[in-house]
Amino acid sequence: MTATALELAVVVPTFNESRNVPVMVAAMDKALAGRRWEVIFVDDDSPDGTADAARAIGRTDPRVRVVQRIGRRGLSSATIEGMCATAAPFVAVIDGDMQHDETLLPKMLDALLADDSVDVAIGSRFVEGGGTGEWDRDRVAKSELATRISRKVLKADLSDPMSGFFMIRADLVRTIVPHLSAIGFKILLDILTASPKPLKFVELPYVFRTRQIGESKLDHVVAMEFLIALYDRMFGRVVPVRFVMFSAIGALGAGVHFAALWLFFRLFGYSFLTGTIVATLIAMTFNFFLNNALTYRDARLKGFRALLDGWVGFCIVCSVGAVANIGVAAFLHDVQQAQWAPSALAGIAVAAVWNFALSSRFVWG
């Protein structure tokens, strides 16, 4: 029985990797010869048809499975879903572009099989025998900075915390999932720092390969997501990261409001009321699109209809928020005789919490 039981699931998050899929499957077939394994491509509905490419192979090779997520984006959350979708006792996570060295997979598996006390086997570019391959100076510097920050802030004492290549015990990782923040690229860091009990890991060297097919999705927003994830780990329990972003964007929106008001009232000579109405609409629209692109990047509304509905909903929520703002501020100032500035701030705070709570539920919920 044990000889034929499923041993390993390899989770491969993909976005626009259709031409890499057959290459990956062939490489794993070779590297994992003699093992019972399956691969789960977790694809975020890639426009290039990555999910179809994987299904085409899966039709004749039942080891190849596909989770196609529609209307969602994110490497970490995709990886988590893959890890929860298998019966295998061990799960590995590997990039779908051949940059991680799949020949490490059997060595990771052996490391976990050999020692029950080891929880995670991690592929590292910064231990003896590993390397970053053909990276330019800029990329090396950025990676080093991120590595240093995460070592300091998260006290994760491993050589390559940015590595997205590892293998872990499946039942263990599923107990950690409820604690994960699931934002951004750094799923391994997330797992190691969120685990209620400290995880024991081993590091195995590999050399990061150069991408041959397709292109990287690691952009500036992803760098920002890394900072967000750090914030979330440090202070997220006190003030949720989305609320911080929502409020920061709200503050920008206030700036936009003033600029628009100045333009219409002072420059174009409209009445103050007309100017205020126009400025409010512009600021709400600005806030809606910025929140859609950043705060709710993982649940981003797309397409004309969804955007229109979302925008209308957002404007309604914010209008009620504005009424609450005015009500609270006027009550504190006029009835409670509070100073004008604290009264105004209290009104803004109430409106911010209201807008955030309702829009997260009814606009991006």
Which range in 41-49, 89-97, 192-200, 275-283 contacts Mn ion by CB under 5 A?
89-97
Q: State the Cα–Cα distance between residues 327 and 193, nearest whole angstrom.
A: 43
Q: How far is the CB of 106 from ligand GDD (least distance, A)?
A: 20
Counting contacts by CB under 6 A, is residue 185 touching ligand GDD?
yes
CB 165 to Mn ion: min, Å: 11
Give the residue among 304, 309, 286 at the shortest CA–CA distance from 365.
Answer: 309
**How far, in Å, CA of 155 to CA of 232, rounded?**
15
Q: Are 126 and 31 in contact (CB under 8 A)?
A: no
The residue within the footprint of ligand GDD, chosen from 7, 97, 101, 232 (CB under 6 A), is 97
Round to whole Å and give the CA distance between 116 and 320: 57
| DSSP-assigned letters across all residues of 100-120 | S-GGGHHHHHHHHHH-TT--E
* Smaller CB separation from ligand GDD, 17 or 190: 17
Residue 18 Cβ vs ligand GDD, minimum distance, rounded to whole Å: 10
Closest CB 215 distance from ligand GDD, rounded Å: 7
Subset of 135-174 contacting Mn ion (CB under 5 A): none
Q: How many residues line the site for ligand GDD (CB under 6 A)? A: 22
How far apart, in whole angstroms, are the C-alpha atoms of residue 122 and residue 354? 43
- Interaction of residue 127 with ligand GDD, rule CB under 6 A: no
Instruction: Please list the alpha-helical segments (H only) found in 91-219.
Output: 105-114, 137-154, 170-176, 187-194
> Residues 13, 123, 236, 347: which binds ligand GDD (CB under 6 A)?
13
On whether the CB atoms of residues 189 and 164 are closer than 8 A, the answer is no
Instruction: Pick the piece of the chain touching Mn ion (CB under 5 A) from 54-62, 99-107, 191-199, 221-229.
Output: 99-107
CA dist list (Å): 120 to 90, 147, 246: 10, 19, 36
Q: Does 99 bind ligand GDD (CB under 6 A)?
A: yes
How far is C-alpha 307 from the chain's CA centre?
A: 21
Could you say which residues in the range 206-265 bind ligand GDD, by CB under 6 A? 216-218
- The residues of the shown chain that bind ligand GDD, judged by CB under 6 A, are 13-15, 17, 42-44, 73-75, 78, 95-97, 99, 143, 162, 164, 185, 216-218
